[in-house]
């Protein structure tokens, strides 16, 4: 069962909107919004990771389980990931220095290499996503060389229960986000890479049940974050939000079936990655600009921030797309 590209674009835009809202909530300093933002961050990032695994899994299945060619696969992925990142980094570096009046060159070099997980910027800690995404691409190369698609869905269910038990009963060994998120992400990525068609069949057959489970899982995860479990029970809280993100992705795949091909949705889906890159550092920059003129208004801040985010993302997208087109034309 294949999904239309427009359906996937809708999901991509929903995930992007959720992440932007997440960071705005966290910046509000209102406890209920901060905790909600932290939960939304895990949920909608998992939707992005799930979408990636789904697309590559469907491609692998469509190509009759042909192994991904290492060089061409990594070349395409690196061009798409690194060119927008490199064009965004000068802005990030400038804002980092403007806000903090200091700059760590090791942090700069690590982020140029896509290793923001290890050395994050203060104004752009979200670039850890690049590190995990590139790691997932390497994992997909491995996935394409094994036939775990033959494993019954029950084995993945057992694995999920085992993973949940590990985080519940051994949570003291998983006290950081870095020790929890990669394993959960790889687990759900493998499930979607190998079993997406089967999962979609189940979801379509039991769409109302999937919707109910999605609402329940989202609510349970949100409750954990409101109780501050992201600090006191980090493993369980992270596991809950990533699980909610996976189930939400399956729910959206099942329920969204639009025959309308909206230009706005396709446009924002096209620049969703660039929006992700630029939006967070532009939030303190927008605050800085308003503070310079003595304005303290949340509506003006939100408006200015969204405008800066959109036009910055659009510029990065246009420039990098043209550059990649030139590179591809030279190699043809």
Please report how the helices 272-292 and 298-330 are oriented relative to each other, as an axis angle in degrees rounded to 10: 140
pLDDT at 231: 84
Could you tell me the two tokens for 27? Answer: 């910046």
What secondary structure letter does DSSP report for 64? T
- Return the number of other C-beta atoms located less than 10 Å from residue 18's C-beta: 19
Question: CB–CB of 238/183 below 8 Å?
Answer: no
- The tens digit of pLDDT for each residue in 91-117 reads 999 999 999 999 999 999 999 999 999
Report helix, strand or coil for 146: coil
The strand ranges marked E within 107-165 are none
- Per-residue DSSP letters for 251-270? HHHHH-------HHHHHHHH
pLDDT at 301: 92
pLDDT at 137: 95
pLDDT at 3: 62
Report helix, strand or coil for 116: coil
pLDDT, averaged in runs of 10, over the chain (332 residues): 77 94 88 89 94 94 91 90 95 95 94 93 92 94 91 91 89 82 93 91 89 92 90 89 94 80 89 96 95 90 95 96 81 58
What secondary structure letter does DSSP report for 177? G
- Which among 117, 119, 40, 121 is positioned nearest to 88, based on CA atoms? 121
Q: Domains of the chain: which residue ranges?
A: 5-330
pLDDT at 331: 59
- Which among 20, 15, 14 is positioned nearest to 44, based on CA atoms? 15
């Amino acid at each position: 069962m294949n999904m239309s590209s427009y359906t996937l674009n809708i999901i991509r835009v929903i995930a992007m909107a959720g992440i932007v809202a997440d960071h705005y909530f966290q910046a509000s300093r209102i406890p209920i919004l901060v905790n909600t933002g932290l939960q939304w961050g895990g949920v909608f990032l998992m939707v992005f990771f799930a979408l990636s695994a789904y697309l590559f899994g469907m491609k692998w299945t469509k190509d009759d389980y042909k192994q991904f060619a290492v060089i061409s696969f990594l070349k395409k992925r690196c061009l798409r990931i690194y060119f927008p990142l490199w064009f965004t980094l000068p802005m990030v570096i400038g804002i980092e220095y403007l806000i903090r009046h200091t700059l760590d060159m090791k942090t700069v070099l690590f982020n140029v290499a896509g290793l923001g997980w290890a050395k994050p910027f203060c104004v752009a800690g979200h670039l850890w996503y690049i590190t995990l995404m590139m790691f997932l691409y390497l994992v997909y190369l491995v996935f394409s060389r094994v036939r775990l698609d033959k494993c019954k869905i029950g084995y993945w269910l057992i694995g999920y229960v085992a993973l949940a038990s590990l985080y519940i009963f051994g949570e003291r060994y998983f006290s950081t986000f870095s020790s929890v998120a990669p394993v959960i992400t790889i687990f759900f990525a493998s499930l979607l890479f190998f079993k997406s068609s089967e999962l979609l069949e189940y979801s379509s057959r039991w769409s109302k049940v999937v919707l109910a489970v999605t609402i329940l899982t989202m609510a349970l995860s949100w409750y954990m974050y409101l109780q501050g479990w992201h600090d006191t029970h980090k493993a369980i809280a992270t596991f809950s939000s990533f699980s909610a993100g996976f189930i939400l992705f399956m729910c959206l795949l099942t329920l969204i079936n639009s025959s309308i091909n909206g230009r706005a949705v396709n446009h924002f889906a096209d620049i969703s990655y660039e929006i992700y890159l630029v939006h967070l550092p532009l939030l303190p920059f927008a605050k800085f600009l308003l503070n310079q003129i003595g304005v303290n208004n949340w509506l003006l801040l939100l408006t200015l921030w969204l405008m800066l985010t959109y036009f910055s993302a659009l510029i990065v997208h246009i420039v990098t797309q043209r550059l990649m087109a030139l590179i591809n034309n030279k190699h043809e």
